[in-house]
Amino acid sequence: MNVDLKEQLKQHSGLAAIYDEALADIAAAAAEVELGAARVRHLGRKSRLSRLLRAIPEMPASERPLAGKLGNQVRAALEEELVVRWQALESAELEKRLEQERVDITLPGEPLAGGRMHLITQTLWEIEDIFTGLGYRIAEGPEVETDYYNFTALNTPEGHPARSLHDTFFIKGKEGVLLRTHTSPVQVRVMEKEDPPVYVIIPGRVYRRDSDATHTPMFHQVEGLAVDEHITMADLKGTLESFAKAMFGAERQVRLRPHFFPFTEPSVEVDVSCMICGGKGCRSCKHSGWLEILGAGLVDPNVFGFVNYNPDEISGFAFGMGVERIAMLKHGVTDLRMFYDNDLRFIKQF
């Protein structure tokens, strides 16, 4: 409300009455329709204000300036008041409409397309990312292999007792051709092609002729190989410790136990402190506090001999892990075969 105008209107009772009445009507309008009616009534051609303004030329000259000035001020003030009221009514009506449009926000959202990657792929990528972060490249190689790369060049000649540990699938009609039993043959292929330093990991499918609750005829391995000047057992230990902490948590410990593999010397098995019980001992770790996660060792000089590396100038370590085992330990999967049943209820969990 215009206080100044109110004061001035004390000089003109007629306009004051028109103004007050119009203001009251505008304020009382409860909807846009009523506001429209108020506009017609108070500002329309037939309104008292319009009639008064039209009658000004007939007024005595002394009254004309005041009436004209105040009349126009009243009109302007009322127009403004109408706009203000209009906006107020409009937003109130919008609010009311929006209020009526409310939905049950607890209903599900639009189910956008989205699938999951297989847990093995997720685990493989996680392993790959850890080692690429440590400076390794990823090497790949054939799954249908020759016994030269799968065994012989890995210091496992024909008749070697370690060959009997592998249940190997052979290819019909091709002498000495088989499904690789580990991704280690790619080690040899990489070293044949490249000079040291070599830092690679080798993920991939491998095959063994074994199928029961704890074996599937196909599974996944990640092999690692580092060959350089002055590579030591201590480097192997530190590398695998970094891996175990990145994969299973910063508080994990690693321990090496001597073991035997034909293509490494010395050979070790690597345990990580049990992530389920924190090392205190539980069913999963057979109450030892340790879980075996991979096999490793320093590359046997005989393997270097097969690829014409000089074991007096360089040394290296290699390790190999089963991806399924890592995934099972990390995610608590209890049945290996579920990875290859490909039941979507399983796949969508991860």
Residues 135-174 that bind another protein (CB under 8 A): 135-138, 142-146, 159, 161-162, 164-165, 169-174
Chain centroid to CA 334: how far?
Answer: 25
Give the burial string for 152-185 (b: 16+ CB within 10 Å, else e).
Answer: bbbbbeeeeeebeebebeeeeeeeeebbbbbbbb
x/- binding map, residues 279-308, to another protein, per CB under 8 A?
A: -------x-----------x-xx-------
Q: Which of 8, 41, 43, 176 binds another protein (CB under 8 A)?
A: 176
Distance CA 280, CA 9 (A): 93
Nearer to Zn ion, 130 or 277 (CB): 277
| Residue 268: CB minimum distance to Zn ion, A | 21
In the block, tokens 């001020």 appear at 73
Is 313 one of the binding residues for another protein (CB under 8 A)?
no
Which residues, 6+ apart, have CB-to-CB distance to 327 below 8 Å?
A: 119, 120, 122, 123, 333, 339
CA dist., res. 186 & res. 194, Å (int) = 12
Upper half-sphere CA count for residue 318 (Cβ side, 13 Å)? 27
Any contact of residue 315 with another protein (CB under 8 A)?
A: yes
Lay out the site mask for Zn ion across 10-39 (x = CB under 5 A, - = otherwise): ------------------------------
CA distance 175 to 9: 116
Helix (H, G, I), strand (E, B), or coil: what is residue 39?
helix
In whole angstroms, the minimum distance from the beta carbon of 203 to Zn ion comes to 27
| Shortest CB 225 distance to Zn ion, Å | 31
Residue 234 binds another protein, judged by CB under 8 A = yes
56 binds, among Zn ion, another protein, none (CB under 5 to 8 A by kind): none
**287 phi-psi bin (left φ>0, alpha ψ -120 to 50, beta other):** left
Q: Is 211 a binder of another protein (CB under 8 A)?
A: yes
Q: How far is the CB of 98 from another protein (least distance, A)?
A: 21
Candidates 21, 34, 126, 235; binder of another protein (CB under 8 A) is 235
Site for Zn ion in 264-323 (CB under 5 A): 274, 276-277, 282, 284-285
Partner that binds at residue 342, options another protein, Zn ion, none, CB closer than 5 to 8 Å by kind: another protein
| 3-state DSSP assignment of residue 213 | coil
